[in-house]
Chain A
Amino acid sequence: MLTAPLLGILIVDREPFAPQHFWGLLQAWLQDAGGFAAVGMAFYLLYVLRTPSEQAESAKYRAGVNSWMLLMAVLAILGYAIYGFLVFAGKGVDTVNVPKVVSSVGSFVKYEPPKFSWSPQPLTLMFAGLFALLAVGQPFVANLFRIRVRRIWALTKLSFKEAVRSKLFWVFLVFLVPLLFPATWFFQIKPENQLRTTIGVTSYASNLLLLLPAALLAAFSIPNDIKNQNIYTIITKPVERLEIVLGRVFGYGILMSVALLGMTTVGWLFIFTSTIDEKAANETYMARNPLRGKLEFRSRRELRGERFEGTNVGREFDYRKYIAGDPASSQRAVWNFHSLPSSLGKSREFVPCEFTFDIFRMTKGEENRGVDMTLRFVTWQTPQVPSPQAGDGNWRWADPARERQYQDDLKQAVEAAGFSGQNPNAVVAAARPGSKAWEIVNAMAAKYGYYEYAGKEVFDYHPETIEVPSGLFENARQPRTGDAAKNDTPLVQVFVNCTSRGQMVGMAEDDLYFLTSPPTPSDWQFAQNYFKAAFGLWCRVMLVIGLAVAVSTYLAGVIAFLVTAALYIGGVFSEHIADVARGSYVGGPFKAINQLLEAKAPTMPVGNSPVERAALTLDVGFSWLVRRVINILPDIDAFSWSAFLSEGFNIPLSYLVMNLLLLTAYLLPWMILAFYLMRSREVAA
């Protein structure tokens, strides 16, 4: 999701999970986890109800079924039957979570979290899943009431002591190696990338040193206990089997938390006590709070009813779209801000706007010189339209009379302020916060909702900042009226264009944002962010421990470790697997086999022969299967915050709370599975 490329800049190719996504995620979770629960429920009920009259007391006690489970099972079956009918009849289709239509095969599609849908199909599926979970989860929940904290704590301490006395902590000292031998000794690192490199190396070392031991310890713990028969003396005590699972999870969790805390503290101290280059501090050593908008690309084409979606310059990773640099070009990247915090711009005379663009040079240009950009900030009161004349790249005010009034007012204000004889637009362009001219800028922005910064020199992949008068946001906050209210016109829009001929400038939605506070290097902000980023790793470590312990309740240690590793690695590449499942690249494996056998290029369109149609049908089945597999994979990227840290972006606490919920949601079905597996396991067999 969030990766920092070599040259540094935060790439947010998927939106992090935030509280507003909660209900959508919950619905999706109930559908997915409920589906697996339904399969489990079917097997369990078949097993239990197979020969009820012949079952002995012990067997009934061990694998019982009660009226609650049966009732929920009936409701779940009913729910799935209704869902099946709706699908068959083609009614009640989800209209909210519709897959985006890609413009071309393999093109970048930004992942968006699921949204809650009231359509009958997703709603029925959600309730059916909920009932299946309630049926399968009842014995698990009932068992939770029988567990005792003292026993879990005993098992937790045991796991902790076992690892400590096997001298595991010595392994973690390896973490000091990259700190003792800094990367700067071996590589030429740009000054602004000093902190990024350090964060990257320490993050990599922490990941490796925590995840691997965590997976090994957790995967081998219960199988070793069974192999060495230590578990005999535990099972024969009044210990619920779930307590053994939880004791292991908590024990290793505490152990790894201590190790993570140690590593994080050492890593932070290393940075804190180092001499940080000013450039690196300005880019990384802070915690920016960005206010992001929605990006769209516009041009004169819209006057003809056509859409301009930005230009693809042929980069393999088409995360960004490009606009042409030319004064005569009407192409604009437009950021729309539909909501603004009430405090934005208050008690300050400007709001920083930061941006980082990718410059794709069509000509060599001038050495050590960037490209010139113009940023125009307008509110809903000052809509802009492209010029209808070909060759005229300017965008005008939709209301020319208002524009004339603005120019008159500006002229008067400039003269009244003692700048008589000077070009009013030049005065405004040269104005900086704190100056007299800035007061004019602020007043004009507050009155008209308009501010333009022309001729900003921008370098490739370098964060730049400009000050936007806070008066603009005052103007934007006025209640919308007329068409603006009806059409939900954005409160603020930022029009960006490039005036350097022969250059293309690439932009993605998260490349431009307002900052709710000035970007100032800060020890405290960075330290907070550093430890928040470690929380993401903590979640991943707990995920690995929970997963490994859960699968080890049934599998041998080595197999449990391999399964955990496979699921984790699969989770890292889950988006790619999802692309494969969707056939976003070149279709499915059966189509590919057919193309190979017929010696056709993979991208050639499929014909209509029976074999080709059969291959496509099989690919649909394969795609369905892979989509189910994806639901088992953990969403590893959702817990990765190191890019936020290395690019100096604040990690909101709400994101971390969502991380915790996500972790719980992923591990809960595994814990229920572990409960059933442990309960049905003959440890002495």
Chain B
Amino acid sequence: MTDYVVETRNLTKVYRDFWGRRKKVALNALDLQIHRGEIFGLLGPNGSGKTTTIKLLLGLLFPTTGDAFVFGEPAAKVEKNERIGYLPEESYLYRFLNAEETLDFYGRLFDIPSDVRRQRAAELIDRVGLSADKKRILREYSKGMRQRIGLAQALINDPELVILDEPTSGLDPLGTRWMKDLILDLKRQGKTVLMCSHRLDDVQDVCDRIAILYGGDLQELGSVDRLVEDQKRLEVRATGVQLTEELKRDLTEVVEKHGGKLETFGHPTTTLEDLFLRIVEESKARPGRRFLPPVESPTVRSS
């Protein structure tokens, strides 16, 4: 249990109406493990259960059945939050505070001594590029600026686990690039990142492993490299040779026979977007759980 930064066991969330009748199964028996130092992505269309999963891990929601553990502790335990940084989808910060006051406030909630708090706040404001605007109240910030200060508050405690809910939402391309670099930087610092996003290219660019959810069910789980492999097709890359029909019939033999050098031989990759759309289509056609978890060792892709 303690090997994982995050672990869920049969985690289920059912929303009920006033009379206690089942209204919606938001998450159904999710089993998930996130390893230390990896960037893990949660993918899924709206209402698939990604944000519910995050909220359950953070104690904002309580599981109907099953369990969620963070750092080996029950998700309901407050102490675990000492080691977590959380950036919500919208930056739900107090808009009457300025950037400095915001970080000071959240720093106090972590009981960080004042000198450390001040120093860390100054560094983070600089890191997210808001030094020039640190005295302006957040009400005057653009959405991108609020997202930046939101990220800064998520990092004020130098967390081991950073949970990002749609981190690139509302950011322009430059901002998106900046955010992705920052996430990769967090990984380099040894932090674990759990993010969910609609932006598939973002996920593909930064995540080591992903879980795809649909209708509250886990549909796919694995490393990005493996998942985007197209197991039904074969790709041969060669130089110094023309690709002829003859070559197609007997690739290796023909390449060597024609004096060429085989550079790669394997499965071609599709885009994550294609994979995602295919899973969603299949899930619509055949509702229910699709993924059966294999015994998998941690796979960390080098960036």
Contact = CB atoms under 8 A, between A and B. Distances in A.
Interface of A: 56-62, 146, 148, 150-151, 153-155, 157-158, 161-162, 165-166, 228-230, 232-240, 682-685
Interface stretch (B30-38, B91-99, B203-211, B278-286): B91-99
Contacts of A682: 60-62
A151 B67 contact: no
A154 B96 contact: no
A236 B67 contact: no
B86 A233 contact: yes
B96 A153 contact: no
What are the nearest 6 A-B pairs in CB distance?
Answer: A154-B108, A684-B60, A237-B109, A229-B92, A165-B96, A236-B86
B60 A683 contact: yes
Contacts of A60: 74
Contacts of A240: 78
B75 to A, nearest CB: 6
Nearest to A239: B109
Contacts of A148: 111
Given A166-B96, A229-B88, A56 B67 contact: yes
B60 A56 contact: no
A229 B88 CA distance: 9
Given A58-B63, A233-B153, A161 B97 contact: yes
Contacts of B106: 233, 237
A683 B76 CA distance: 13
B88 A238 contact: no
Interface residues of B, number: 40
Contacts of B62: 58-59, 62, 682
A161 B59 contact: no
A162 to B, nearest CB: 6
B68 interface: yes
B94 A685 contact: no
A234 B55 CA distance: 13
B245 interface: no
Contact of B94 (A57, A158, A236): A158
A240 to B, nearest CB: 6
A237 B110 contact: yes
Contacts of A229: 88, 90, 92
B166 to A, nearest CB: 13
B5 to A, nearest CB: 16
A685 B74 CA distance: 19
A150 B104 CA distance: 12
A162 B74 contact: no
A233 B81 contact: no
A151 to B, nearest CB: 5
Contacts of B157: 237
A151 B96 contact: no
Interface residue SS majority, chain B: mixed
B181 interface: no
A628 B78 CA distance: 36
Interface in B31-85: 55, 58-63, 65-69, 74-79, 81-82, 84
A170 B290 CA distance: 61
Given A232-B60, A233-B88, A58 B108 contact: no
A492 B231 CA distance: 108
Nearest to A62: B76
A447 to B, nearest CB: 73
Given A236-B81, A239-B109, A682-B60, 18 more contacts: A57-B74, A58-B63, A59-B76, A150-B108, A150-B111, A154-B108, A154-B109, A158-B94, A158-B97, A230-B93, A232-B60, A232-B88, A233-B88, A233-B92, A236-B84, A236-B86, A238-B82, A685-B61
B110 A56 contact: no
A685 B15 CA distance: 8
Contact of B65 (A56, A61, A683): A56
B31 to A, nearest CB: 14
A165 B98 CA distance: 12
B74 A58 contact: yes
B105 interface: yes
Contacts of B137: 165
Contacts of A150: 108, 111
Interface of B: 15, 55, 58-63, 65-69, 74-79, 81-82, 84, 86, 88, 90, 92-94, 96-97, 101, 105-106, 108-111, 137, 153, 157
A58 B58 CA distance: 12
A153 B67 contact: no
Contacts of B15: 685
B217 to A, nearest CB: 20
A237 B81 contact: yes
B74 A61 contact: yes
Contacts of A154: 105, 108-109
A56 B74 CA distance: 9
7 contacts: A56-B65, A56-B66, A60-B74, A235-B58, A236-B58, A237-B106, A683-B60
Contacts of B79: 238
Given A235-B60, A685-B15, A230 B94 contact: yes
A148 B108 CA distance: 10
B86 A153 contact: no
Contacts of B108: 150-151, 153-154
A229 B55 CA distance: 12
B93 A58 contact: no
A264 B78 CA distance: 42
A59 B12 CA distance: 13
Contact of B111 (A61, A165, A238): A238
Nearest to A158: B105
Contacts of A165: 96, 137
Nearest to B88: A232
Contact of B92 (A58, A146, A228, A685): A228
Given A153-B108, A166-B96, A235 B66 contact: no
A556 to B, nearest CB: 14
A165 B60 CA distance: 28
Nearest to B107: A154
B244 to A, nearest CB: 60
Contacts of B82: 238
Contacts of B97: 158, 161
Nearest to A153: B108
Nearest to B10: A56
B92 A162 contact: no
B60 A57 contact: no
A214 B95 CA distance: 22
Nearest to B57: A236
Nearest to A228: B92
Contacts of A685: 15, 61
B94 A58 contact: no
A151 B97 CA distance: 17
Nearest to B114: A150
B205 to A, nearest CB: 26
A239 B105 CA distance: 12
Contact of A61 (B76, B84, B94, B96): B76
A523 B69 CA distance: 66
B83 to A, nearest CB: 9
A158 B94 CA distance: 9
B4 to A, nearest CB: 15
Contact of A59 (B63, B77, B96): B63
Contacts of A153: 108
Given A58-B67, A238-B110, A684 B93 contact: no
Contact of B78 (A59, A228, A233, A238): A238
B76 A58 contact: yes
A233 B93 CA distance: 7
Contacts of B153: 233
A166 B157 CA distance: 29
Contacts of A228: 92
A165 B94 CA distance: 11
A88 B225 CA distance: 77
A237 B75 CA distance: 12
A236 B59 contact: yes
Nearest to A162: B96
B81 A230 contact: no
